[in-house]
Structure 1
Amino acid sequence: MKNAAAPSNAVSQLQRQVQAQQEEIAQLHRLMVKKEAQWEATKQSLFEQFRLALERQFGPSTEKYRVDQRDLLINEAEVAVDEEGSDASESITTADDATIDTATPAKRRARGGRVALPPELPRVEVIHELPDDVRHCHDDGTPLKVIGEEVSEELHVVPARIEVIRHVRRKYACPLCEEGVKVAPALAKLLPKSNASATLLAYVATAKYQDALPLYRQSQILPAMARR
């Protein structure tokens, strides 16, 4: 009887061990699913933070960084169908083009001229005169008269230059009693106690944040501009 009871106890013990291992495996599987869900949420959060950081850094130009992950999934079946449809349409188009070419002669493309400069730009006229010794008729010496003019335009850029604006505030006083001195009010400044004008501050801000020109490079360029 003791020999028969020993194998049954061993079998029941093995069953309990197998059941405990199965429960441990199930618990590990649930933990793995939970960790995968947490990792997916963390990945989405990191991607969103990266996108927002790009928007804060580059502003409107970040449209090219706005990538939807769904756009990265390519349906191969649809691509294959599109390729087959495009091959068929290309063959039909080629046949139609051949028919059209045989029916009508090809038209010569019109040659375009020079694009006119925008009329809203300011114009500065430079008059070019003939020398005095050639402004007479070579037959009888009669002075020549202006009968017309030929005009050609070129786009000109005035480089930035630095200049100092002196604000002179006149003082007034009574010439008899020399009392009650009055002076013209000072202009308001964007930066008090600074000799930088509003145009200079706008230039520096635009060069730094729009043209990506750091301040140390601007400090090297501005003295060269002052020497012009």
Structure 2
Amino acid sequence: MPSALDPDLLAQLPPALRAAVEAQVQALALENAELRTRNARLEHLVRELQRARFGPRSEKLQPDQMELAFEDIEVALAAATEENDAAAESRTGDRPARTPRGPRRLPKDLPREERVLVPEDLLCPCGCGDMVRIGEDRSERLDVTPAQFRLIVTIRPRYACPKGRAGIRQAPPAPALIEGGLATEALLAHVAVAKFADHLPLYRQSQIMARQGVEIDRSTLADWMGKVSFHIAPIVDRMAVLLKRSAKLFADETTMPVLDPGAGKTKKGFIWAMLRDDRPWGGSDPPGVVFTYAPGRAGIHAEEMLKGFEGVLQVDGYQGYNRLADGRRAEGGRVRLAFCWAHARRKLIEARPSAGSPFV
């Protein structure tokens, strides 16, 4: 088959047919150009993912970064698939069949709203009257009700003796986390979870609220979070006490930039974590994690955070934890350290010769 149309043969066609062929050729050329662009984009994403996953720095790639790479590829693939399906439907009138998926695991207690679709006309063509129901098909789609702000108006009527012989009686104000504040406890929890669990900065939350006509300045949200932090501190302290009663814990530390008042820049601080999660091996204790800030990485900070714990502590190879196990601990008995296999493997990867090794 020739790779291009023969101009002489094309000139012999009737004008209408020749115009149709030329239009079809132009449309196919445009479609091929779009496909080449899309394929180049997908090939680029695959190369970037392979470089991140198997390249020299793959050991330093964080799981969240890997998830972002996968998301980019999956979004691009889904967009290409949808575009191809739409093009096929426009040509043939039928949409390509989807690969059936297994049952989705959704909570059984989710609210369910049933919508019954009945044909507009139930009159039987044979003239016997209306058709009767003999069965049904069911399908489920997951829906969401967007967050909606509302004002809770608390009314406290005042009562008095109709004859003026006694004082006024009125119910006391309802207790509130922020006395006299605008935010309810539910709104405070919503903002806190969005910021600290979902990493949504306060200025973005302020912008989201503004889209619904609720103008709350970022500084106001920050003030709310400061008050929440103060009131929730006893709960965090109690969580730490309960965690340190465990037979085994995991601990780690990482850098965190913090404000350096007067210097006009940030300085390096450290966030320390102690964690318990026995779910993978059927443990009965609930999972939990408590974070502690410290200005440095010295082992004394680990000792302070883990004061009262005397079980097995899983850590990386950082020597600052050794003081918990070698008798230098000021209070309590020695902790038994359990080192991490993933970090041990990382050392082997770093020690591998540039030419490769049959053992690593």
**For the superposition of Structure 1 and Structure 2, which TM-score range results when normalised by the shorter chain?**
0.3 to 0.5
TM-score normalised to structure 1 length: 0.43
Which structure exhibits the higher relative contact order, with contacts defined as CA atoms closer than 8 Å and separated by 6 or more residues? Answer: 1
TM-score normalised to structure 2 length: 0.29
Q: Which has the larger radius of gyration?
A: 1
- From the two aligned structures, give the one with the greater helix fraction: 1
- From the two aligned structures, give the one with the greater strand fraction: 2
